[in-house]
Amino acid sequence: MQLKLVLESLLFSAQKPLAARELRELLIAAAEQESADENARLFRNVTEQEIGAALEELAREHELAQRSYRLVCIAGAWQFVTQPEYAPWVKVLVGVKPRPPRLSMPALETLAIVAYRQPITRAEIEQIRGVNVDGVMQTLIERGLIAQVGRADVVGRPVLYGTTDLFLEYFGLRSLDDLPAADELRRPLEQKTVEAAAQAGLATPPPEQLTRPEQGQPAQAQPQPVPENQSAPTQPAPETRRTGDST
């Protein structure tokens, strides 16, 4: 009896996706039944790692077979799903469930920040986006895409937010590691703030970037003299902060 075939039978019969931990519990429960036969006892001590490896092998076999369905792992749980090209016929059979309205662009921007920078506070999100996010945060919470995951260890103990398993299901991701690369969103907030200030002329470059041409040694930035026939440049007016987003 092969482990992957036992797992296949469980997933085929299950009414919901099953994680490796749940599959292991089912194998142990089957082995401990009084009527358990020798085959059922074979997998009493199977580990979650072994189950994961068997499922990966099973998924590859189904993919190579080019069947109308495939085995996938979404949000850490495994399930059989039909291939997208067979959707017209499947919709007729099972019907079409009403889907919630699509997320607005402000909501998607906020959700991306939470996904890549979690855990994160509301104030940090507003600092990155430059707008009030009360409305979109409430929408994301009501849709079950983000949730409170703790409190920051700073003054006031603000709430920290992170994504949920429903977020992974919504975008068809196995885990957060499957998110597309977005180095800009993953960069520390302090680094982005310093760089933005330097570009705006509000901070000098790092000392290692400043050298004296004649000595090649680090030096402090020196103000440039203003020619007599020119006036000193004026400080640009600060940008107007937007007041918020629509959900």
User: The tokens of 71 are what?
Assistant: 């085995």
Q: State mean pLDDT over 220-227.
A: 48
**Do 23 and 47 contact (CB within 8 A), yes or no?**
no
User: The tokens of 129 are what?
Assistant: 């986006």
Mean pLDDT lowest among 43-47, 120-124, 241-245: 241-245
Q: State mean pLDDT over 89-103.
A: 82
Calculate the average pLDDT of the chain.
Answer: 79
Is the pLDDT score of 243 beyond 60? no
The pLDDT score that the predictor gives to residue 54 is 95
Q: Among residues 116, 149, 120, which one has the least CA distance to residue 133?
A: 120
Residue 47 confidence class, pLDDT cut points 50, 70, 90: very high
Is the pLDDT score of 36 beyond 50? yes
Instruction: Say yes or no: do domains 3-94 and 105-186 share a fold.
Output: yes
Query: For residues 47 and 221, which has the higher predicted lDDT (pLDDT)?
Result: 47
The pLDDT score that the predictor gives to residue 65 is 93
Per CATH, the architecture of 105-186 is what?
Orthogonal Bundle (1.10)
Please tell me the distance from the alpha carbon of residue 145 to that of residue 126, in angstroms, as a whole number. 18
Is the pLDDT score of 198 beyond 60? no
Give the residue extent of every domain in the chain.
3-94, 105-186
Domain at 3-94, CATH from 1.10.10.1800, 3.40.50.720, 3.20.20.140, 1.10.10.10: 1.10.10.10
Is the pLDDT score of 230 beyond 80? no
Other beta carbons within 10 angstroms of residue 161's beta carbon come to: 24
b/e per residue 114-133 (b: at least 16 CB within 10 A): bbbbebbbbebbbebbebbb
Sheet holding 159-163, edge to edge: 120-121, 159-163, 146-151
Q: Among residues 74, 18, 86, which one has the least CA distance to residue 8?
A: 18
Q: Which residues contact 40 (CB under 8 A, 6 or more apart)?
A: 30, 31, 33
Residue 69 pairs with which residues in a beta bridge? 82
